[in-house]
A and B are shown apart, each in its own frame.
Chain A
Amino acid sequence: MTALARHRVAIGIAAIVLVLLGGGGFVAWTVAKRDDARASAAPPVQGGLLFVDLESYDGQVDQVALADPGGKRTPTALRCQRVYVAAGTTVCLRLAGIGPSYEAAVLDADGEVLRTVALPGTPSRARVSQSGKVVSWTTFVTGDSYSVPGGFSTRTGVLDLASGTLVESLETFRSTVGGQVMTAADINFWGVTVAQDDRTFYATMATAGRTWLMKGDLVARTMADVRQTAECPSLSPDGTKVAYKKRTSRTGPWRLAVADLRTNAETVIEGTTGIDDQATWLDGDTLAYAATNGDEKRSSIYEVRADGSTAPKVLITAAASPVPVR
């Protein structure tokens, strides 16, 4: 027997101890090298642009002045994977425990938590209606098993703060395409945007590999199709236009498009390839969205005019989930 074989167990245990020490050291070093010199948190202010800072990995929500997006980043007290603010109401989709679990936390203008709703999966989209009264979100539910081929589905919830009514999933609504009620079990919904009346809404419906822009009624609990191949709608502040991402081919990348709801005319905006976001309106003519381009490791926030008259420009790098504070 060689010395190696004789001391096999001792060498093995020593190697395990080394790996544990090395791993522990790596974790400590990674955490220690982070720049933790965060200034004291400031609440969101009018004219600010909130976003999730992707540099920090902990969902730090920062704020810049919309007039000067390249300027100073001020941290807020929020830590979210997805965030949206309107009329003083904030929705923050965040981790809630090692369960594994997530929650949608709804906060008032003072940062007090009004309500939390447990979520079934990884946060994807979040919205608050212009009045601040209706909150919605979308999560991705994935199979936790080795053996699920590409298994995923989405759950989209809507919470009416005025009545306290919670819709856990839009699947419970009556949905029609061309007048036909949809009953297939593989239907998924995502990306809600609610109109000024806090009752009308738009959302994406998908089944059998196709998507539709749906127009719905939160009171009657119904939805009907508006047009095909449109995802993650976002209503303009005056409610006349809707921006959405549109697949250019069946599995190709998305581009940003804007449709006029009165004339149904669609404008696909050039240069927006790489978008994967529910766009947000900065004002009546300008959109902001997150996109990952080329070999970037993290998405950046872009700004583009809704009529497509200018090329998109980068507002903030390594960031996602843009939302203007107004």
Chain B
Amino acid sequence: MYLASARTTPVEAAGGTGVTGKVPGTVVALGAVSLLTDVSAEMVTAFMPVYVLYVLQLGYVQFGLLDGLYSGATVLLRLVGGHLGDRLGKYRAVALAGYGISALSKLLFPFAGASTAAIGAVVATDRAGKGLRTAPRDALISLATPAPVLGRAFGLHRAMDTFGAMLGPLVTFLIMIQLGADPSLVFGVSFCFALVGVIVLVTFVPGPPRTAVAAPRPEIRWRDGLHLLRGKRFRGASVAATVLGFATISDAFVFVVLQKTAGVPTSLLPLLPLGTALVFLLAALPLGRVADRFGRWRMFAVGHVALLGVYALLVLGGRGIAVVCLVLLLHGLFYAATDGVLMAHGAELVPESIRASGLAILQTGQAVARLLSSVLFGVLLTFLDMRWAVLVAAVALLAALGTALVLTGRGRTGADAEVAA
């Protein structure tokens, strides 16, 4: 038996970068890296429709299909990134490779020309980098943070990350309005943001402590990650997160249904994601702190209750701007209460030696389930009215929440977590 939370001394000493409000400097630095990288990534995401439709005059349908296919495939790269991080014992190096690949992909766009397949491949390269870096990055956050403030640390990181994601589209539109929809400018500026992110990672995030490198490490194999699932609590959390993922409809669908049921002008549609992001951004840190006291798994469940509230409002079909604000508030709170909180919870269930693999398994189950659910929801929409489709999702979510609570034992929190290793 291995006491995962036995490590009560902060590993913060590694870089000596100081502590900000109890959140280690390393986490702030990683937050800055994510912020810059997300500005870069979301700049490109916002530019893609303009690039494909206007600059290249290509059909968006095939591109959309390819994009969906690739993003599905690269989800699995998270497992690879997690495993490599643990096996090599070099989380920063694997994360760096991921951030580097994404940065370089911005320079490949001009070579893709007007070929839909080639553009899709470049976007896939970007996604591959994201897949590779996510688990080792979250492992770095968890290893740098004292256990009692994990929720706070992940909350701060997710808030910074989301801030970058909000800035990205604004930068793209600023460039397009001031300087024209010139691909070399958008991709060039996007590359610069990503490159600064990589430099911040190398400069301000400490590598592994030298003693740890010298010490003999147990060899990590693929099956070690899978063996984690033998631990009752980790298995419970993974299965529960996956089941809940199945009942989570994608943001795009939430916004489209909301615009229609609330009867607000279609021109508001591009602004709806900003509402969710703003709430997520503001609430991630406070909810992370609450989760540290109140119980992270409980907070994760409460977050899904907020999502249930979103579905309920959509099914009831209230109209007007007030309903829109309420839905976006609940949707943002859902993310703030679940995204970083799940990782903070996971960090306590997984031993340090295979931290990245464990976090990757937890995320991948959820991400794959969400991908499948958005495909299924798309299929539902081909023969059901929107509100009926959301009702189906709401019933599924209720069932998933029940299953999750049974699987993890009602309200049990992880202050004294134990796992078999």
Contacts and interface: CB of A to CB of B under 8 A. Distances in A.
Interface string A79-102: 001000000000000010111110
Nearest to A13: B203
A119 B189 CA distance: 26
B46 A146 contact: no
A205 interface: no
Contacts of B383: 184, 208
A12 B57 contact: no
Contact of A19 (B68, B181, B192): B192
Given A100-B172, A140-B49, A12 B203 contact: yes
A295 interface: yes
B60 A152 contact: yes
A95 B49 contact: no
Nearest to A118: B267
A23 B383 CA distance: 50
Interface string A281-303: 00000000011100111110000
A149 interface: yes
Nearest to B54: A81
Nearest to A60: B180
Interface residues on A, range: 35 or more
Nearest to B175: A27
B292 to A, nearest CB: 27
A147 interface: yes
A9 interface: yes
Given A123-B54, A144-B169, A145-B250, A183 B385 contact: yes
Interface stretch (B144-152, B224-232, B320-328, B373-381): B373-381
A248 B131 CA distance: 36
Interface string B360-386: 000000010011001100100111111
B57 A9 contact: no
B266 A169 contact: yes
B202 interface: yes
Given A95-B177, A208-B382, A147 B55 contact: no
Given A22-B192, A95-B176, A121-B269, A185 B381 contact: yes
Given A57-B180, A147-B250, A298-B114, A118 B49 contact: no
A96 to B, nearest CB: 9
A295 B115 contact: yes
A150 B64 contact: yes
B269 A20 contact: no
Contacts of B384: 184-185
Interface string A143-157: 111111111110101
B199 A149 contact: no
Contacts of B189: 23, 27
A207 B69 CA distance: 20
A277 B57 contact: yes
B57 A30 contact: no
B267 A20 contact: no
A149 B67 contact: yes
A229 to B, nearest CB: 14
Contacts of B69: 149-150
B189 to A, nearest CB: 6
A23 B185 contact: no
Nearest to A5: B207
B203 A147 contact: no
Nearest to B65: A150
A149 B203 contact: no
Interface in A124-154: 124, 140-153
B409 interface: no
B317 interface: no
Nearest to B257: A185
Given A143-B252, A185-B385, A290 B203 contact: no
A41 interface: no
Given A95-B176, A101-B270, A148 B252 contact: yes
A27 B188 contact: yes
B389 interface: yes
Contacts of A298: 55-57, 114
B108 interface: no
A48 interface: no
B88 interface: no
Interface in B105-144: 113-115, 130
B41 A146 contact: yes
A15 B201 CA distance: 12
Interface in A200-254: 207-208, 251, 254
Contacts of B72: 149
Contacts of B367: 147
A299 B56 contact: yes
A12 B179 CA distance: 30
Contacts of A11: 203
Contacts of A97: 173, 177
Minimum-distance CB pairs A-B, first 6: A12-B203, A149-B68, A143-B252, A150-B68, A118-B267, A58-B180
Given A149-B68, A152-B49, 13 more contacts: A23-B189, A57-B55, A81-B181, A100-B173, A101-B173, A122-B53, A142-B48, A144-B45, A148-B68, A151-B374, A152-B64, A155-B266, A298-B56
24 contacts: A16-B199, A20-B192, A20-B196, A23-B188, A26-B192, A27-B189, A95-B173, A120-B270, A122-B49, A122-B54, A142-B64, A147-B367, A148-B374, A149-B72, A149-B250, A150-B65, A183-B385, A184-B383, A184-B384, A185-B381, A208-B382, A277-B57, A297-B113, A298-B56
